[in-house]
Structure 1
Amino acid sequence: MSEFRVTAQRSDGWWALEIEGPGLRRPAHTQARRLDQVEETVRDLLALRFDTGVDDPSTAAWRITVLPVLGEELATEVARTREVRQEADRLREDAVSRSREAARHLHEQGLPHRDIGALLGVSHQAVGKLLAG
Protein backbone atom coordinates (compact mmCIF):
# COMPACT_ATOMS: atom_id res chain seq x y z
CA MET A 1 0.00 0.00 0.00
CA SER A 2 1.33 3.45 -0.92
CA GLU A 3 0.85 6.22 1.60
CA PHE A 4 0.57 9.81 0.52
CA ARG A 5 0.65 12.79 2.84
CA VAL A 6 -1.32 15.86 1.83
CA THR A 7 -0.69 19.18 3.53
CA ALA A 8 -3.69 21.47 3.03
CA GLN A 9 -3.42 25.19 3.66
CA ARG A 10 -6.02 27.90 3.02
CA SER A 11 -5.18 30.29 0.20
CA ASP A 12 -7.64 32.80 -1.29
CA GLY A 13 -10.73 30.70 -0.57
CA TRP A 14 -9.11 27.44 -1.68
CA TRP A 15 -7.15 24.67 0.00
CA ALA A 16 -3.67 24.65 -1.50
CA LEU A 17 -2.51 21.01 -1.48
CA GLU A 18 1.03 19.68 -1.34
CA ILE A 19 1.26 15.91 -1.90
CA GLU A 20 4.27 13.83 -0.86
CA GLY A 21 4.72 10.09 -1.13
CA PRO A 22 6.38 7.18 -2.92
CA GLY A 23 7.05 7.66 -6.59
CA LEU A 24 7.03 11.44 -6.35
CA ARG A 25 10.53 12.87 -6.73
CA ARG A 26 9.31 16.19 -5.41
CA PRO A 27 5.98 17.27 -3.92
CA ALA A 28 3.03 17.59 -6.27
CA HIS A 29 0.65 20.54 -5.96
CA THR A 30 -3.01 21.12 -6.68
CA GLN A 31 -5.97 22.76 -5.01
CA ALA A 32 -9.49 22.02 -3.84
CA ARG A 33 -12.36 24.28 -2.87
CA ARG A 34 -13.40 22.18 0.16
CA LEU A 35 -11.72 19.62 2.42
CA ASP A 36 -14.27 16.95 1.48
CA GLN A 37 -13.00 17.23 -2.12
CA VAL A 38 -9.31 16.80 -1.27
CA GLU A 39 -9.03 13.01 -1.43
CA GLU A 40 -10.78 12.73 -4.81
CA THR A 41 -8.70 15.60 -6.20
CA VAL A 42 -5.47 14.00 -4.99
CA ARG A 43 -6.46 10.59 -6.39
CA ASP A 44 -7.14 12.21 -9.77
CA LEU A 45 -3.76 13.96 -9.72
CA LEU A 46 -1.92 10.79 -8.70
CA ALA A 47 -3.70 8.73 -11.37
CA LEU A 48 -2.50 11.22 -13.98
CA ARG A 49 1.01 11.33 -12.52
CA PHE A 50 1.32 7.52 -12.48
CA ASP A 51 -0.60 7.03 -15.74
CA THR A 52 -3.30 4.82 -14.22
CA GLY A 53 -7.05 5.05 -14.27
CA VAL A 54 -8.83 6.35 -11.19
CA ASP A 55 -10.81 3.07 -11.12
CA ASP A 56 -7.64 0.94 -11.39
CA PRO A 57 -7.45 -1.50 -8.43
CA SER A 58 -3.97 -0.24 -7.53
CA THR A 59 -5.33 3.25 -6.84
CA ALA A 60 -7.74 1.85 -4.24
CA ALA A 61 -4.74 0.77 -2.18
CA TRP A 62 -3.44 4.33 -1.94
CA ARG A 63 -3.73 5.65 1.59
CA ILE A 64 -4.17 9.41 1.58
CA THR A 65 -3.71 11.33 4.82
CA VAL A 66 -4.86 14.95 4.78
CA LEU A 67 -3.22 17.30 7.27
CA PRO A 68 -4.98 20.70 7.34
CA VAL A 69 -2.77 23.56 8.50
CA LEU A 70 -4.88 25.47 11.02
CA GLY A 71 -2.51 27.09 13.47
CA GLU A 72 -1.89 25.78 16.97
CA GLU A 73 -4.86 27.40 18.75
CA LEU A 74 -7.44 26.41 16.15
CA ALA A 75 -5.97 22.89 15.75
CA THR A 76 -6.24 22.40 19.52
CA GLU A 77 -9.85 23.59 19.48
CA VAL A 78 -10.76 21.25 16.63
CA ALA A 79 -9.01 18.29 18.29
CA ARG A 80 -10.79 18.94 21.59
CA THR A 81 -14.14 19.26 19.81
CA ARG A 82 -13.61 15.91 18.11
CA GLU A 83 -12.70 14.30 21.46
CA VAL A 84 -15.85 15.68 23.09
CA ARG A 85 -18.00 14.50 20.17
CA GLN A 86 -16.52 10.99 20.43
CA GLU A 87 -17.24 10.95 24.16
CA ALA A 88 -20.81 12.13 23.47
CA ASP A 89 -21.25 9.28 20.97
CA ARG A 90 -19.97 6.79 23.53
CA LEU A 91 -22.32 8.18 26.19
CA ARG A 92 -25.25 8.09 23.73
CA GLU A 93 -24.57 4.42 23.00
CA ASP A 94 -24.34 3.72 26.74
CA ALA A 95 -27.62 5.58 27.38
CA VAL A 96 -29.42 3.53 24.73
CA SER A 97 -28.03 0.28 26.12
CA ARG A 98 -29.00 1.16 29.68
CA SER A 99 -32.44 2.39 28.58
CA ARG A 100 -33.03 -0.84 26.67
CA GLU A 101 -32.08 -2.91 29.71
CA ALA A 102 -34.16 -0.82 32.15
CA ALA A 103 -37.16 -0.88 29.79
CA ARG A 104 -36.92 -4.66 29.55
CA HIS A 105 -36.78 -5.03 33.34
CA LEU A 106 -39.73 -2.65 33.84
CA HIS A 107 -41.68 -4.47 31.13
CA GLU A 108 -40.99 -7.80 32.86
CA GLN A 109 -42.58 -6.28 35.98
CA GLY A 110 -45.76 -5.70 33.97
CA LEU A 111 -45.54 -1.92 33.55
CA PRO A 112 -47.25 -0.46 30.47
CA HIS A 113 -45.22 1.35 27.81
CA ARG A 114 -46.49 4.78 28.87
CA ASP A 115 -45.36 4.25 32.47
CA ILE A 116 -41.97 2.95 31.32
CA GLY A 117 -41.64 6.02 29.10
CA ALA A 118 -42.50 8.34 31.98
CA LEU A 119 -39.94 6.66 34.23
CA LEU A 120 -37.16 6.72 31.62
CA GLY A 121 -37.99 10.16 30.19
CA VAL A 122 -38.82 8.91 26.70
CA SER A 123 -42.02 8.55 24.67
CA HIS A 124 -44.06 5.37 24.79
CA GLN A 125 -43.20 4.90 21.10
CA ALA A 126 -39.50 4.97 22.02
CA VAL A 127 -40.19 2.33 24.66
CA GLY A 128 -41.62 0.08 21.93
CA LYS A 129 -38.43 0.54 19.92
CA LEU A 130 -36.25 -0.13 22.97
CA LEU A 131 -38.09 -3.36 23.69
CA ALA A 132 -37.99 -4.46 20.05
CA GLY A 133 -34.23 -3.88 19.76
Structure 2
Amino acid sequence: MALTTAFKAVATRGDRYWLVHIPELDQYTQARNLTEVEPMARDLIALLKEIPDDSFHLDIRIELPEHVRHHLELARKYSEDAARAQAESARERRAAARELKARGLTVRDIGTALGISHQRAQQLLA
Protein backbone atom coordinates (compact mmCIF):
# COMPACT_ATOMS: atom_id res chain seq x y z
CA MET A 1 0.00 0.00 0.00
CA ALA A 2 1.36 3.42 -0.96
CA LEU A 3 1.48 5.88 1.92
CA THR A 4 0.33 9.16 0.42
CA THR A 5 -0.42 11.16 3.55
CA ALA A 6 2.38 12.38 5.80
CA PHE A 7 2.27 13.82 9.29
CA LYS A 8 4.86 15.19 11.67
CA ALA A 9 5.06 14.40 15.35
CA VAL A 10 7.17 16.76 17.45
CA ALA A 11 8.05 15.37 20.88
CA THR A 12 9.03 17.84 23.60
CA ARG A 13 9.75 16.87 27.18
CA GLY A 14 7.23 18.18 29.69
CA ASP A 15 7.47 17.87 33.46
CA ARG A 16 6.65 14.16 33.59
CA TYR A 17 5.75 13.15 30.05
CA TRP A 18 6.70 13.76 26.46
CA LEU A 19 4.27 16.14 24.80
CA VAL A 20 3.63 15.07 21.22
CA HIS A 21 2.37 17.76 18.87
CA ILE A 22 0.90 16.93 15.48
CA PRO A 23 1.22 20.28 13.64
CA GLU A 24 -1.01 19.29 10.71
CA LEU A 25 -3.88 18.72 13.15
CA ASP A 26 -2.78 21.24 15.78
CA GLN A 27 -3.42 18.53 18.36
CA TYR A 28 -1.40 17.05 21.21
CA THR A 29 -1.07 13.71 22.87
CA GLN A 30 1.42 12.54 25.46
CA ALA A 31 3.80 9.64 25.92
CA ARG A 32 5.51 8.31 29.04
CA ASN A 33 8.70 7.62 27.12
CA LEU A 34 10.12 8.03 23.63
CA THR A 35 9.17 4.48 22.68
CA GLU A 36 5.51 5.46 23.07
CA VAL A 37 5.74 8.59 20.89
CA GLU A 38 5.06 6.87 17.57
CA PRO A 39 2.14 4.67 18.67
CA MET A 40 0.50 7.52 20.57
CA ALA A 41 0.88 9.88 17.61
CA ARG A 42 -0.45 7.24 15.21
CA ASP A 43 -3.44 6.57 17.48
CA LEU A 44 -4.29 10.27 17.66
CA ILE A 45 -4.00 10.80 13.90
CA ALA A 46 -5.96 7.64 13.10
CA LEU A 47 -8.71 8.61 15.53
CA LEU A 48 -9.10 12.19 14.34
CA LYS A 49 -8.73 11.47 10.61
CA GLU A 50 -10.68 8.20 10.79
CA ILE A 51 -7.99 6.30 8.89
CA PRO A 52 -5.98 3.18 9.72
CA ASP A 53 -2.92 3.89 11.84
CA ASP A 54 -0.66 2.27 9.24
CA SER A 55 -2.00 4.23 6.26
CA PHE A 56 0.22 7.29 6.57
CA HIS A 57 3.87 8.24 6.91
CA LEU A 58 4.90 9.69 10.26
CA ASP A 59 8.01 11.83 10.64
CA ILE A 60 9.02 12.00 14.30
CA ARG A 61 11.24 14.80 15.56
CA ILE A 62 12.52 14.96 19.12
CA GLU A 63 13.09 18.49 20.36
CA LEU A 64 15.89 18.61 22.88
CA PRO A 65 16.77 21.59 25.08
CA GLU A 66 19.21 24.11 23.60
CA HIS A 67 22.00 23.24 26.04
CA VAL A 68 21.68 19.54 25.15
CA ARG A 69 21.79 20.35 21.41
CA HIS A 70 24.91 22.43 22.11
CA HIS A 71 26.61 19.45 23.79
CA LEU A 72 25.66 17.20 20.87
CA GLU A 73 27.01 19.70 18.34
CA LEU A 74 30.31 19.88 20.23
CA ALA A 75 30.46 16.08 20.40
CA ARG A 76 29.88 15.87 16.62
CA LYS A 77 32.62 18.45 16.00
CA TYR A 78 35.06 16.63 18.29
CA SER A 79 34.29 13.32 16.57
CA GLU A 80 35.01 14.88 13.18
CA ASP A 81 38.24 16.41 14.54
CA ALA A 82 39.25 13.04 15.98
CA ALA A 83 38.59 11.29 12.66
CA ARG A 84 40.75 13.84 10.84
CA ALA A 85 43.51 13.47 13.45
CA GLN A 86 43.30 9.67 13.18
CA ALA A 87 43.67 9.84 9.39
CA GLU A 88 46.64 12.20 9.70
CA SER A 89 48.22 9.94 12.31
CA ALA A 90 47.89 6.96 9.96
CA ARG A 91 49.49 8.93 7.10
CA GLU A 92 52.42 9.88 9.32
CA ARG A 93 52.90 6.29 10.54
CA ARG A 94 52.99 5.11 6.92
CA ALA A 95 55.52 7.83 6.07
CA ALA A 96 57.70 6.82 9.03
CA ALA A 97 57.58 3.15 8.02
CA ARG A 98 58.43 3.99 4.40
CA GLU A 99 61.34 6.17 5.45
CA LEU A 100 62.75 3.42 7.65
CA LYS A 101 62.31 0.90 4.82
CA ALA A 102 64.14 3.28 2.44
CA ARG A 103 67.01 3.33 4.95
CA GLY A 104 67.29 -0.44 4.68
CA LEU A 105 65.52 -1.62 7.85
CA THR A 106 63.75 -4.97 7.78
CA VAL A 107 60.02 -5.16 8.39
CA ARG A 108 60.69 -6.72 11.80
CA ASP A 109 63.04 -3.89 12.75
CA ILE A 110 60.54 -1.32 11.50
CA GLY A 111 57.87 -2.91 13.68
CA THR A 112 60.13 -2.88 16.72
CA ALA A 113 61.27 0.70 16.08
CA LEU A 114 57.70 1.94 15.71
CA GLY A 115 56.37 -0.09 18.65
CA ILE A 116 54.06 -2.19 16.47
CA SER A 117 54.00 -5.78 15.27
CA HIS A 118 55.93 -6.70 12.16
CA GLN A 119 52.58 -7.63 10.58
CA ARG A 120 51.30 -4.10 11.18
CA ALA A 121 54.57 -2.69 9.81
CA GLN A 122 54.02 -4.75 6.65
CA GLN A 123 50.50 -3.32 6.34
CA LEU A 124 51.85 0.21 6.65
CA LEU A 125 54.32 -0.47 3.86
CA ALA A 126 51.71 -2.04 1.54
TM-score, normalised by the number of residues in structure 2: 0.56
Q: Which residue of 2 aligns with 1:9?
A: 13
* Structure 2, unpaired ranges of 5+: 47-51
Structure 1 Cα separation of the partners of residues 117 and 19 of structure 2: 49
Q: Which residue of 2 aligns with 1:84?
A: 78
Asked if the contact 1:113/1:127 (under 8 Å) is kept, the reply is yes
Structure 2 Cα separation of the partners of residues 99 and 112 of structure 1: 19
Asked if the contact 1:100/1:131 (under 8 Å) is kept, the reply is no
Q: Which residue of 2 aligns with 1:117?
A: 111
Compared CA separation, residues 105 and 66, structure 1 to 2 (3 A): same
What is the total number of aligned residue pairs between the two structures? 115
Q: Could you report, residue by residue, the CA deviation over 1:35-86 in whole angstroms, capped at 9, with x for unpaired residues?
A: xxx3x53332333333233xx7x54xx43322212x54x5434432332122
Structure 1 Cα separation of the partners of residues 82 and 69 of structure 2: 20
Q: Which residue of 1 aligns with 2:49?
A: none
Point out 4+ residue stretches in structure 1 off by more than 6 angstroms.
none
SS in 2 for 1:27: strand
* Structure 1, unpaired ranges of 5+: 33-37
Structure possessing the higher radius of gyration over alpha carbons: 2
Compared CA separation, residues 113 and 90, structure 1 to 2 (3 A): same
TM-score, normalised by the number of residues in structure 1: 0.54
Q: Which residue of 1 aligns with 2:31?
A: 30
Structure 2 Cα separation of the partners of residues 17 and 67 of structure 1: 10
Compared CA separation, residues 83 and 44, structure 1 to 2 (3 A): same
User: CA offset at residue 87 of structure 1?
Assistant: 1.4
Structure 2 Cα separation of the partners of residues 130 and 3 of structure 1: 51
